[in-house]
Chains A and B, each alone.
Chain A
Amino acid sequence: AQSVTQPDIHITVSEGASLELRCNYSYGATPYLFWYVQSPGQGLQLLLKYFSGDTLVQGIKGFEAEFKRSQSSFNLRKPSVHWSDAAEYFCAVGAQGTYKYIFGTGTRLKVLA
Chain B
Amino acid sequence: DADVTQTPRNRITKTGKRIMLECSQTKGHDRMYWYRQDPGLGLRLIYYSFDVKDINKGEISDGYSVSRQAQAKFSLSLESAIPNQTALYFCATSEGVGEQYFGPGTRLTVT
- A-to-B contact residues, CB < 8 Å: 9, 32, 34, 36, 41-46, 49, 90, 92, 94-101, 103-106
Interface size class of B (residues with CB under 8 A): 20 to 34
- Residues in A whose Cβ lies below 8 Å from that of B43: 44, 90, 103
- Residues in A whose Cβ lies below 8 Å from that of B44: 103
B40–A105 contact, CB under 8 A? yes
A99–B104 contact, CB under 8 A? no
B42–A45 contact, CB under 8 A? no
Q: Closest 4 interchain pairs by CB?
A: A43-B102, A105-B42, A103-B42, A103-B43
- Residues in A whose Cβ lies below 8 Å from that of B41: 105
- Residues in B whose Cβ lies below 8 Å from that of A41: 104-105
Most buried by A among B4, B42, B44: B42
